[in-house]
């Protein structure tokens, strides 16, 4: 069910234009950053679901949906009250209010009065007309085959390892070898994307370019990257252990670091 909902969401978004920037609506950099750690967390969660008793899994499920924890967030410098549902809701309300104010300001014409008393009206008309793209042009623009291929390869690698592992005797030497192989696969892809984001962010900062590398409006420093890795593993572990989607963890995180809801 979760996979079907995700697939339909991706298919819909491939035909949607980015509302603010001339970039694909799908942020492939963030996807490559979180996907390997998310899948690694799923592997850990599935293993824990076999070890943990049912009563403990039930308690953890209740805590996931209704619990609150106070943690020191590395994305902000203050103490944040994190509740998976409430935090996402209030963050969405805050972003909605900001977008509403911006939309009203853009739609409202500005009026100026010259020294001679003549009224000038600025209706925010662009100097160069924006070219409207067809749905097919938007679809092609949103596809980045190199990044998409990398995502598919990582997914297929984990799928192949899981299929091979299921055919082996539990707790045998070959079973643990195949299980451990998943760690370097995830860490290599995650490390490559970390280095890419870190270097690009540092390069733009040195040249005075304020534009963020991807949708996330944060500085890609080592602590932030490690925090993203932790949240990816945590989201996957929750998904594999409790049978829920990793979006319970990653959704609030993505909103917190500045990714637009679309």
What pLDDT, on the 0 to 100 scale, is given for residue 219? 72
Dihedral sign for Cα 187, 193, 195, 201, please: negative
pLDDT at residue number 108: 56
Contact 257, 216 (CB under 8 A): yes
Report how far Cα 247 is from the mean position of its chain's Cα atoms: 9
Angle at 218 between CA 214 and CA 223, to 5 degrees: 115
What's the CA gap between 194 and 199, in Å, rounded?
A: 9
**Distance between CA 209 and CA 207 in Å, rounded?**
6
Q: Give the global pTM.
A: 0.68
Instruction: Give pLDDT tens digits along the chain (262 positions).
Output: 767 777 787 788 778 777 777 777 777 888 888 888 988 888 888 888 888 888 888 887 777 666 544 333 433 433 334 455 556 666 667 767 777 777 766 655 544 444 454 545 455 555 555 567 777 878 888 888 888 888 889 889 988 988 888 888 888 888 888 888 989 888 998 888 888 888 887 887 777 776 666 666 667 778 888 888 888 888 888 888 877 666 667 777 777 777 776 6
């Amino acid at each position: 069910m979760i996979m079907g909902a995700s697939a339909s969401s991706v298919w819909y978004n491939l035909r949607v234009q980015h509302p603010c920037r001339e970039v694909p609506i799908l942020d492939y950099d963030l996807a490559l950053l979180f996907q390997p750690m998310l899948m690694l967390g799923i592997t850990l969660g599935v293993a824990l679901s076999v070890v943990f008793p049912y009563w403990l899994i039930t308690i953890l499920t209740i805590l996931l949906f209704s619990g609150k924890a106070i943690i020191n967030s590395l994305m902000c410098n203050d103490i944040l009250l994190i509740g998976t549902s409430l935090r996402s809701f209030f963050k969405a309300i805050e972003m909605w209010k900001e977008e509403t104010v911006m939309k009203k300001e853009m739609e409202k014409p500005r009026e100026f009065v010259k020294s001679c008393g003549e009224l000038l009206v600025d209706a925010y008309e662009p100097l160069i007309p924006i070219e409207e793209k067809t749905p097919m042009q938007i679809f092609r623009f949103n596809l980045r085959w190199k990044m998409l291929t990398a995502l598919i390869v990582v997914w297929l690698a984990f799928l192949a390892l899981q299929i091979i592992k299921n055919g082996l005797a539990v707790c045998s030497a070959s079973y643990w070898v195949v299980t451990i192989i998943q760690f370097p696969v995830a860490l290599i892809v995650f490390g490559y994307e970390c280095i890419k984001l870190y270097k690009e962010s540092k390069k733009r900062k040195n040249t005075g370019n304020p534009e963020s590398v991807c949708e996330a409006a944060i500085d890609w420093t080592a602590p932030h990257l490690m925090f993203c890795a932790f949240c990816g593993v945590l989201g996957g572990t929750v998904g594999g252990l409790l049978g829920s989607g990793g979006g319970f963890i990653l959704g609030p995180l993505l909103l917190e670091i500045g990714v637009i809801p679309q």
